[in-house]
Amino acid sequence: MHIADEFRKSMNWLHTWLGIALSGVLFAVFWMGSLSVFMYETDQWMMPEARGPAVETVSLDETVLPWLEQSDVSAEQSVFVVMPSVRKPLLRVGVFGGDNGPLNAYFDPATGKQVERTGTFGSSGFFYPFHYSLHINWQGLGYWIVGLAAMAMLTLVVSGIFIHRKIVQDFFSFRPTKALRRSTLDLHNITGLVALPFHILFPLTGITIFALVYFEGAALKPFKGEVFDYTREANGYYVIEPDGVAADPVQSVDGFIEEAEAIWTSRSGTPASADYIRIEAYGDTNSKVVIQHSGPRLQVARSQGRIVYDAASGEMEQDFQPAPIRNALSWLEGAHYMMFRPYHVRWLLFFGGLMGAAMIATGLLFWMRARIRKGLEPTSVRVVRALSVGSITGMIGASGAFLLANRLLPLDIDGDGRAYLEVLVFYSVWLLSFVHAAIRNKQAWRDQVWVIAGIAFLAPVLNWVSTGDFLTVSISQGQWAVAGTDLVILASGGLAVFAALRLKQTERVEAAKAQRRPVAGSLADAASVPAE
Amino acid sequence: MTALARKLPDWMDRTVRLALGLIGGYFVTNSYIGFTGVALSELGLARGEAASFAILTSAFVFVGLIVWSAATRRLFRTAIVVIASSIIMAICTPYLTAL
C-alpha cells in the first residue's frame, strides 16, 4: 500500500474511533458551550428581576459599603463585587470565607436598592459550568473528561483534514435529496469545513484555560511548585492577609474605580471599565481594594489589568500589566470567553459552536447508519441508537425543559431549593430521553424532535404568561436580551418541526424501499460513501 | 517486537495505539511543559512568560503524538521514543536549574 494511503487509512480509524468514544461528551460540551455564549442574556430571560434598562454607572459607596457594614463582614472574609453591565444588569456582591459566609446580594443599579433574586442557577450557573466540568466535581473528574474530549477534538480535526481527498469539493457538496446517510455525511463535511477555525479555536483555548488543572505540576516547575508565585508573576495576584488590628472599614471605593478606569482607558485607547472589585481584609489596618478590568468591551483579549489600593491611605500599591506572552495567552482566553461587546462577533462564535455540535451529531449518525447497514444485531442497534438519541436530542430537550421549569416552578420555594429543582428537571428529562429511545427505537428521533419543538413553542408563551413580556413588548421596550432569547428558542422550534417532517419523509422512503427490496442497501448507494 | 505488533488483532493494535497516543502523549506533554518552562526561565525569560509559552505550545505536542502513534508503522519503536523522551525530559528538568 502507498504510504499516503496507509497514513490516510490510519487517520480514518483514529477519526472514527476517537469520535465515537467521545462524541457524547463532545456534543454536550459544544451544545452547552454554544448556549453559554449568550448566558447573561439567557440569565435575564430566566430572572425577570434582572430585566430592564441597563445602568452601568453605580456608586458602590452608596450601595455596597452600607450593606457590608450591616452584614458583619470580618477581616478574614473576602468581598467581591461584580459591576453591572448591559449584559448583566444587576450589581452583585458576594462574601466568602468566615463563619457567616458565603453571602450574596443583588442590587438594582438604577435605584440602588437590594433585589430579591429568582431561585435559579440561570444559564451562567448551570449551562456554563456544565460545558467545562459536566458538573462532576469529584476529584475534578469532569474537568479531566472535558480536557480529554478537547484534546480528542483537536485530533479529530487534524485526522479529519487528512482523510479528505477532495476537501474543496466536499465544501460545496450538500445533497439533501439523496439518501439520509449520504446527506448526513455531506452535512458532517460542510459543518466541519465551514467552521474549521472554530473547531480548532474552542478546544485549543479550552485546554489552555485549564492547563493548570491538567498539567499543574509541570506548569509550576519553574516556580518550584509554588502556585502563588506563578499567579503573582503571570497574573499579578498576591495574597493579602489581615494584620489582625481593627481599623475603620473602607469609606470610599468610587474614587479608586474612577482613577483605575482613567489609567486603563488612556493606556489601551479604548474605553475601559472596572468589572470586578475585591475588598480584602475588610475592617483591618491592612485592608486593600483590588480593581480589576478583565473583560474589555472592544477587545478580544482578556485584560489582566489589576490595580491595588491601600484602603486606609488610598495609595496605589500595584498596577499590574501582563508580559507579552501572557498577553497572547489572554487573547486565546478572550477568544474562548467571548465577553467582548460587539454582538455580531459573538453571533459568529455562537454559530461556530452550534456547527461544531452539528458536526459531532452528524458524524455519530453517519457512523451509526453505516453500522446498521453492515448488519449490526438488533439489540446492539437498539443500544447504540438509544445512546445517540439520548446524547443528542435528549440533551437538547433537557436544556429546553430546564428553561420550562424555570418559568413553571413556584417562586416561593425557599433557598436554593427552586434552583436545584430546575437541575433535577434537567437530569430527569435527560435520563428519560435515553429510556424513551431504548423503548421507541427507530421512532425515538422523531418523537424527541417533536418534543423539542413543543418545548420551544411553549417557552416564549410561558415567559409571556409569567412576566407579561410578550415578544412585541420586549422588542418595543428594547429588551433585546429577552426578545433575542425568545426568538432563538422559536427559531429552534421551527428547525425542530422541519427536522421532524424530514425524518418522517425519510422513514416513508425507507419503508417503501424495504418493501421493494428486502435486502438492505444498494451497491450503488454503498459505493457513493467512502469506506471506513 | 515489531513482528509481534503486526500480529496483533486490529482492535488490540488500535487500542494500544490510542493508549500510547493519549496516555503516553499526556506524560510527554507534561514533561515537555516542565522542561520547556524551566529551560526558558534558565535562559533568562521571566518565569511567568516561560510557563505561559510552554502551556501555549503544549497542545501541538500532544496532538502530534496522538497522530504519530496512530500512523506509525513501527509501533514498538514509537512507544520507546515516547516513553524515553518523557523520562529523559522529566529527569533532566531538575538539573537544568543547576547548570
Residues on chain B touching A17 (C-beta within 8 angstroms): 14, 18
pLDDT, position A29 = 97
Residues 6+ apart with CB under 8 A from B12: none
pLDDT band, residue A296 (cuts 50/70/90): low
Quote the mean pLDDT of chain A.
Answer: 88
Q: Quick check: A527 pLDDT over 60?
A: no
pLDDT at A522 over 60: no
Partner A contacted by B58 (CB < 8 A): yes
- pLDDT higher than threshold 80 for residue A173: no
Cβ-defined contact of B33 to A215 (cutoff 8 Å) = yes
Q: Look at A490 and A266; give whichever has higher pLDDT.
A: A490
pLDDT at A141 over 90: yes
CA atoms of B7 and A334, how far apart (whole Å): 48
**Mutation to test the A interface, candidates B33, B41, B53, B86, most A Cβ within 10 Å:** B33
HEC sequence for B38-70: HHHHHCCCCHHHHHHHHHHHHHHHHHHHHHHHH
pTM of the shown model:
0.90
CA dihedral defined by A261, A262, A268, A273, rounded to 10 degrees?
Answer: 20
- If one compares A123 and B7, the residue with the highest pLDDT of the two is A123
Q: Does residue A134 have a pLDDT over 90?
A: yes
pLDDT in tens, B67-96: 999 999 889 999 999 999 999 999 999 888
pLDDT value at B1 more than 60: no
Task: Report the gap between the CA of B41 and the closest CA in chain A (Å).
Answer: 7
C-alpha cell at B33: 511543559
Residue A59 has pLDDT above 60, yes or no: yes
pLDDT band at A461 (very low <50, low <70, confident <90, very high): very high
Q: Is B70 on the interface with A (CB under 8 A)?
A: yes
Distance from CA of B80 to the nearest CA of A (A): 20
Q: How many CB pairs under 8 A join A and B?
A: 112
**Hey, of A159, A221, A224, A333, which one would you mutate to test binding to chain B, going by the most B CBs within 10 A of its CB?**
A221
The pLDDT of residue A104: 87
Average pLDDT over every residue of A520-526: 43
State residue B3's pLDDT score: 53
> Which residue does chain B place closest to A203, by CA atoms?
B59
B34 to chain A, any CB pair closer than 8 A? The answer is yes
Amino acid at A318: Q
- Closest-CA residue in chain A for B97? A222
ipTM score of complex: 0.90
Instruction: Tell me if B63 sits within 8 A of B29, measured CB to CB.
Output: no
Q: Quickly count: other Cβ atoms within 10 Å of residue A166's Cβ.
A: 9
Is pLDDT of A180 > 90? Answer: no
Whether the predicted pLDDT of A365 surpasses 80: yes
| Mean of pLDDT values over A189-208 | 93
Strand order in the sheet with A288-293: A114-115, A103-107, A91-96, A78-82, A276-280, A288-293, A305-310, A316-320
Q: Cβ(A266)–Cβ(A242) under 8 Å?
A: no
At A208-218, the pLDDT tens digits run: 999 999 999 99
- Selecting from A151, A323, A329 the residue whose C-beta is nearest the C-beta of B46 gives A323
**Given this model, what pLDDT does residue A15 score?**
94
CB contact under 8 A, B49 and A18: no
Question: Is B33 an interface residue toward A (CB < 8 Å)?
Answer: yes
The pLDDT value given to residue A60? 92
Q: Which residue of B has its CA nearest to A228?
A: B48
* Interface probe with A: pick from B61, B63, B91, most Cβ of A within 10 Å: B63
Q: Which residues of A touch B (CB under 8 A)?
A: 6-7, 10-11, 13-14, 17-18, 148, 151, 154-155, 158-159, 204, 207-208, 211, 215, 217-223, 229-230, 233-235, 323-326, 328-329, 332
CB spacing of B56 vs A7 below 8 angstroms: no
Comparing CA positions, the residue from A288, A287, A305, A286 lying closest to residue A296 is A305
Residue A325 has pLDDT above 60, yes or no: yes
The pLDDT assigned to A86 comes to: 83
Question: Greater confidence, A463 or A518?
Answer: A463
pLDDT confidence band for A4 (50 / 70 / 90): confident
pLDDT band at B53 (very low <50, low <70, confident <90, very high): very high
- Whether B46 sits inside 8 A of A233 (CB atoms) is yes
Residues of chain B in contact with residue A155, where contact means CB-CB under 8 angstroms, are 21, 63, 66-67
Mean pLDDT of all residues in A292-314 = 82
Provide mean pLDDT across the span A16-30: 94
> Is the model's pLDDT at A383 over the cut of 80?
yes
User: Predicted confidence band at A339 (pLDDT cuts at 50, 70, 90)?
Assistant: confident
How far is residue A30's CA from residue A19's CA, in Å, rounded to a whole number?
Answer: 14
Higher pLDDT, residue A339 or B88: B88
The residue-averaged pLDDT of A293-310 equals 80
Chain B residues close to A332, C-beta within 8 Å: 56
The Cα–Cα gap between A303 and B44 comes to: 25
Task: Give the model confidence (pLDDT) of A402-451 as tens digits.
Answer: 999 999 999 888 778 999 999 999 999 999 999 999 999 889 999 999 99
How much of chain A exceeds pLDDT 70, in percent? 95
Q: How far apart are CA A342 and CA A296, in angstroms?
A: 11
B46 touches chain A (CB under 8 A): yes
- Chain A residue with CA closest to B54: the answer is A219
Of the listed ranges A10-14, A115-119, A202-206, A297-301, the least confidently predicted one is A297-301
- Whether residue B24 lies within 8 A of chain A, CB to CB, comes out as no
Inform me whether the pLDDT recorded for A532 exceeds 50. no
Mean pLDDT of A154-165: 90
Check residue A528 and give its pLDDT: 39
Q: Distance between CA atoms of A254 and A257, rounded to whole angstroms?
A: 5
CA separation (Å) from A357 to A23, A133, A175, A456? 9, 17, 20, 18
Predicted confidence at residue A176, as pLDDT, reads 72
Would you call B5 helix, strand, or coil by DSSP?
helix
Q: Give the pLDDT confidence score for residue A529 in this predicted structure.
A: 41
Q: Which residues of B touch A234 (CB under 8 A)?
A: 48-49, 51-52
Kindly state the average pLDDT of the residues A334-341: 83
Residue A11 with chain B: CB contacts under 8 Å: 67, 70-71
B38 with A208: Cβ contact below 8 A: no
Q: Encode pLDDT of A28-56 as tens digits.
A: 999 999 999 999 999 999 999 888 777 77
What pLDDT, in 10s, does the model give residues B8-41? 788 888 899 999 999 999 999 999 999 999 999 9
CA distance A304 to A235: 6
Are B48 and A234 an interchain contact pair (Cβ–Cβ within 8 Å)? yes
Radius of gyration of chain B (CA): 16
